[in-house]
């Protein structure tokens, strides 16, 4: 499998931008509830991180309010040492990487849900955190790697961030459908696939991100239902280029899953 994905990328044909978006809209009506569930679960996973980050800062915020909220006149009653802030920043960084792991896990599960509903596969997608089992270290390293790639790109006059956002975005579906790949292979496959189709994937990311924001017009909270739309074009792009070895025909062919 490690070498198969690279052969598939080399043999992959043309990806149709319009067709991918069309199929994304068609499947959205069947998976929007699943997307909403995954969004809410992601938010629940983030809450403990936010508490750890902001609770230590609450005393300063409360004191600042006594000065009318103006930091210019704020005189802290406690003089925090440099060591305190170094430890605080380190804890925040570690927790952010752990939080990213849970985000990867939940998103990877959503890709499996979309595949099941799109192909009619009888495959059991498991629980929301099924990808966490046996993959925590790999996902933590992948989180560190993507962070490092993004930082390097941002330091290089920031423009390269637009280039690396494509392979980084592709790494999640690559992991979801090839979880036996190593971290280096996932990164390599992401860049190989991204380089070959950079323009179309970049366009899909921009357009799908704008579409995902449309939920904000539905009393603001509607954005929770549309937020995961950004992953649907990435799913169909992966399916149309790399593909699945075990995927039955699309549900549009009206072939029941029992036949597979």
Q: What is the pLDDT of residues 33-71, one digit of tens each?
A: 999 999 999 999 888 888 888 888 787 777 667 665 555
Which of 33-37, 77-81, 209-213 is predicted most confidently? 33-37
Average the pLDDT over 238-252 and give the result.
71
User: What sign results for the dihedral spanned by CA atoms 184, 185, 188, 193?
Assistant: negative
Query: Is the pLDDT score of 253 beyond 70?
Result: no
pLDDT computed for residue 214 by the predictor:
83
What's the predicted TM-score (pTM) here? 0.86
pLDDT tier at 258 (50, 70, 90 boundaries)?
Answer: very low
Which of 23-37, 42-56, 108-122 shows the lowest mean pLDDT across its residues? 42-56
The predicted model gives 109-114 an average pLDDT of 97
CA distance 243 to 104: 21
pLDDT tier at 81 (50, 70, 90 boundaries)? confident
In angstroms, rounded to a whole number, what is the distance separating the alpha carbons of residues 180 and 67?
56
């Amino acid at each position: 499998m490690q070498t198969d994905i690279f052969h598939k990328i080399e043999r992959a044909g043309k990806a149709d931008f319009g067709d991918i978006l069309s199929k994304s809209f068609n499947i959205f009506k069947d998976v929007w509830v699943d997307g909403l569930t995954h969004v809410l679960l992601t938010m629940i996973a983030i809450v403990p991180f936010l508490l750890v980050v902001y609770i230590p800062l609450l005393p300063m915020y409360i004191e600042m309010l006594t000065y009318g909220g103006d930091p210019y006149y704020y005189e802290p009653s406690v003089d925090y040492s440099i060591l305190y802030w170094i430890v605080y920043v380190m804890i925040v960084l570690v927790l952010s990487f752990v939080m990213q792991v849970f985000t990867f896990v939940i998103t990877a599960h959503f890709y499996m849900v979309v595949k099941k509903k799109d192909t009619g596969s009888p495959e059991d997608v498991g629980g929301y955190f099924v990808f966490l089992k046996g993959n925590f270290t790999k996902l933590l390293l992948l989180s560190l790697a993507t962070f490092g790639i993004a930082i390097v790109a941002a330091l290089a006059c920031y423009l390269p961030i637009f280039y690396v956002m494509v392979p980084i975005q592709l790494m999640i579906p690559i992991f979801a459908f090839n979880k036996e790949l190593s971290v280096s292979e996932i990164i390599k496959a992401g860049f190989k696939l991204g380089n070959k189709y950079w323009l179309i994937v970049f366009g899909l990311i921009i357009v799908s991100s704008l579409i995902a924001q449309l939920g904000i017009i539905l009393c603001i909270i509607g954005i929770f239902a549309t937020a995961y739309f950004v992953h649907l074009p990435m799913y169909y792009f992966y399916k149309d280029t790399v593909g699945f070895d075990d995927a039955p025909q699309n549900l549009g062919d009206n072939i029941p899953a029992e036949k597979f």
